[in-house]
Amino acid sequence: MSMLTRRQFVQVGSIAAAGLLAGCGSSGSDAADAAPQAADGEYTVVNEGKLTCISNLFFPPFESMNETTGDPEGFDIDVSKSLAEHLGLEVNWLPSQDFDTLVPTIKNGGKADIAIAGMTITDARQAEVDMSDPYVDSNQSIVVKAGSTETAESLDDASKTIAVQGGTTGADWADENLPNATKKRLSTIIDAMSGVQSGLYDAVVCDLPVSRYQIKMSYSDLEIIEEIPTGEQYGIAISKDNPGLTAAINAALAEMQEDGSMAAIEAEWFGSEL
């Protein structure tokens, strides 16, 4: 299968991408440095003229589906649009998939160019795929029902159920730090939060920016009892067979920092909170 799909790959001239980057940059040294990086090698995309993206679209405000249209929306979606613009491509979003299938899908190739999913850069993931330079800092959090007397200590007990999203760094943190608690692996963090709300589970371990946003927007009856400074950073997953694309994405991310596009996206989704 990969032979066939590979033939459908489209060569994208690196000169064009480099020209675009140089063209929209100022004379600042960062922009000047960014262009040759993209020119280092050519890259391929799975659909001609498009940056095809995958994610798990149940992780607001990084990614979710618009309630009316069903279209993907969120911080990462805006980042993907800006990346595509900086590369002279059109953005192309595929339907949501389970978080723990994203890295294997990118590794196997042929379906999507990037996974952008609030995905923490970890050694295990970097062994499978390339991760871009970091574009968001994050931490973990423990969320319980508001007014609950639970603590990290009281939760570390077999009678307590901790809900996590399968395959995430939050799930890893719970395994390591709440070894005695019962873990419930769910396919979305929304299911985890709703389950705590309805009393099915005692707590959720989840990325702090997401738990803060969710409590503010939809779960006012939940609260964060602990912020855990894991010092995580999000990156974009790209196939190791496509190093030119990693270079081009990194150059575009640098350009987005430089030209204010990233700051505008941060302001849009987090105000001053990020």
Any idea which residue has 């279209």 for tokens?
71
**Is position 52 an interface residue for ligand ARG (rule: CB under 6 A)?**
no
Closer to ligand ARG by CB, 116 or 247: give it: 116
Residue 96 structure tokens: 């949501």
119 phi/psi in degrees, rounded to 5: -90, 120
Closer to ligand ARG by CB, 139 or 154: give it: 139
The interface with ligand ARG within residues 63-82 (CB under 6 A) comprises 63
**Is position 194 an interface residue for ligand ARG (rule: CB under 6 A)?**
no
**Is position 96 an interface residue for ligand ARG (rule: CB under 6 A)?**
no
Closest distance between ligand ARG and the C-beta of residue 55, in Å? 5
Distance from the first to the final alpha carbon of the chain: 42
| Cα distance between residue 34 and residue 30, in whole Å | 6
**Is position 106 an interface residue for ligand ARG (rule: CB under 6 A)?**
no
**Span interacting with ligand ARG, options 9-17, 22-30, 53-61, 257-265, rule CB under 6 A:** 53-61
Closest distance between ligand ARG and the C-beta of residue 62, in Å? 6
Interface map 214-253 toward ligand ARG (x if CB under 6 A): ----------------------------------------
**Is position 269 an interface residue for ligand ARG (rule: CB under 6 A)?**
no
Q: Please report the beta strands in 176-221, taking only residues with DSSP state E, as ranges in sequence order.
A: 182-186, 203-207
Residue 109 structure tokens: 């190739």
**Is position 255 an interface residue for ligand ARG (rule: CB under 6 A)?**
no
**Is position 136 an interface residue for ligand ARG (rule: CB under 6 A)?**
no
- In sequence order, what are the beta bridge partners of 231? none
**Is position 118 an interface residue for ligand ARG (rule: CB under 6 A)?**
yes
Q: Please report the beta strands in 79-160, taking only residues with DSSP state E, as ranges in sequence order.
A: 90-93, 114-115, 130-131, 136-145
Contact predicate 77/118, CB 8 Å: no
User: From its phi and psi, is residue 199 left (phi > 0), alpha (psi between -120 and 50) or beta?
Assistant: left
| Cα distance between residue 259 and residue 20, in whole Å | 13
Contact positions vs ligand ARG (CB under 6 A): 55-56, 58-59, 63, 99, 117-120, 165, 168-169, 207
